[in-house]
Structure 1
Amino acid sequence: MRLTAHALTCQRGGRIVFAGLDFSIAAGEAVQVTGPNGAGKSSLLRLVAGLVRIESGRLALEGGDPEASIGEHCHYCGHQDAFKGSLTVAENLAFWTAYLGGGGQDPQTAMDRLGIGHLAALPAGYLSAGQRRRLALARLLTVARPVWLLDEPTAALDVASQKVLAGIMAEHVAAGGLLLAATHGPLGLPTRELAIGRAT
């Protein structure tokens, strides 16, 4: 599997965020998107996920399901956790697992892996920022998708949780997955850098 972009241009609110971007990411590779604030790191991830329209250029995924869009091959984990506070941790994860198609680990196993298994019966509205982040990341384990798009994945995580996440990301890449992450800090695994310049 390979994700390829050629002369990719993104426009948001009438402003060109980035233009003429070329890159290629192969199966089993992790790429870290870097650049100053406003350069378009988050916009790039949302564009690949199909949440932002491509202004011009081409984005292609070779080796995937020809009946599915590029976005349907992707896990997008952004700044919004998309949970209903009145539902329990387990209920929220079960909903998203079913909605996104499942195919991964059992939800309880995923919660245990991320250190929130003991919170399964707690309404999600009571979670701390770090716990909410770990619940969002649990979807990576319960739903099998080959392309992971992670926007500041270590935000709000303590050091121990960052190490757990690094292990999860390393396992995904080792199994032939693709990883594209926008972050200002280290991810804890070998990566190739994709630098985006300052927005114009």
Structure 2
Amino acid sequence: MVLNVRDLACARGGLPLLEGVSFSVTSGAALVLRGPNGCGKTTLLRTIAGLQPALSGEIDCPPDAIAYAAHADGIKATLTVAENLRFWAAIYGTCETSTALERMNLCALAERAAQNLSAGQKRRLGLARLMVTGRPVWVLDEPTVSLDVASVALFGDVVRAHLAGGGMAVMATHIDLGLPEAEILDLTPFKARLPETGSGDFDEAFL
């Protein structure tokens, strides 16, 4: 499988952020997005994941091949850790959750309600969800937020195992996950030009 992005333009709140973004990611590979805050990393990832439309360009990847993880952990507060993973496994049509529990060091917390977890534990559970989706393309927006050093290392191992199994990852992160072969894409050169003031197609309130 190959994820191809061609001449993509995307916007946030009606304001164009990026234009002309093109890249390819193949099975077993990772792409790390870099750039200053506000440059459009999150917007690009949300567009790739199908959560918002592109202004123009093409994303060549089956939508059901992508699993997305961002700042929200996507967990059910009243369910236990194990129940959360079983819920998501059922949603995605998979069944095995024990590996996710083990790899993200959640076995001892399996019967604890998610609402009683610390921020870091919730993040580990949210990331463990990726492993039960069965989807090959992981789109990750700052996945290590709230994780301590040991948990970052655990997640780095999970990502490397995903890639070794033929998966792929596109992520925005400033943390070293131990992926020496990952390609780096700086989004700075793709910053969109703002429409000239006075244009009838642009709402200056977005500035």
Normalised TM-score (structure 2): 0.87
SS in 1 for 2:121: helix
SS in 2 for 1:82: coil
Q: Does 1:162 align with 2:152?
A: yes
Q: Does 1:79 align with 2:61?
A: no
2:199 matched residue in structure 1: none
Q: What are the ranges of 5 or more consecutive residues in structure 2 without an aligned counterpart?
A: 195-207
SS in 2 for 1:99: helix
2:174 matched residue in structure 1: 184
Distance 2:126 2:7 in 1: 32
Contact 2:73–2:127 under 8 Å retained in 1: no
Q: What aligned pairs does 1:14-163 form with structure 2 within 5 A after superposition?
A: 14-61=14-61, 70-102=62-94, 106-163=96-153
Distance 1:99 1:126 in 2: 24
Distance 2:20 2:111 in 1: 48
SS in 2 for 1:32: strand
Distance 2:154 2:175 in 1: 16
1:7 matched residue in structure 2: 7
Shift of residue 75, structure 1, vs aligned partner:
1.0
Contact 2:103–2:158 under 8 Å retained in 1: no
1:195 matched residue in structure 2: 186
SS in 2 for 1:43: helix
Count, aligned residues: 190
Shift of residue 38, structure 1, vs aligned partner:
0.8
Distance 1:42 1:71 in 2: 18
Distance 1:187 1:44 in 2: 21
Contact 1:112–1:118 under 8 Å retained in 2: no
Shift of residue 39, structure 1, vs aligned partner:
0.9
What's the % identity of the aligned pairs? 45
Q: What are the ranges of 5 or more consecutive residues in structure 1 without an aligned counterpart?
A: 62-69
SS in 2 for 1:44: helix
1:67 matched residue in structure 2: none
Aligned partner letter, 1:160: A
Distance 1:108 1:71 in 2: 26
Shift of residue 174, structure 1, vs aligned partner:
1.5
Task: Note the alpha carbon deviations across 1:91-144, whole angstroms, 9 max, x for none.
Answer: 1111111112226xx223311221111111111001111101110111222221
Distance 1:195 1:102 in 2: 35
Task: Note the alpha carbon deviations across 1:48-104, whole angstroms, 9 max, x for none.
Answer: 11101011011113xxxxxxxx3210110111012221111111111111112226x
| Structure 1 vs Structure 2 CA RMSD | 1.4
Aligned partner letter, 1:37: N
Distance 2:177 2:59 in 1: 25
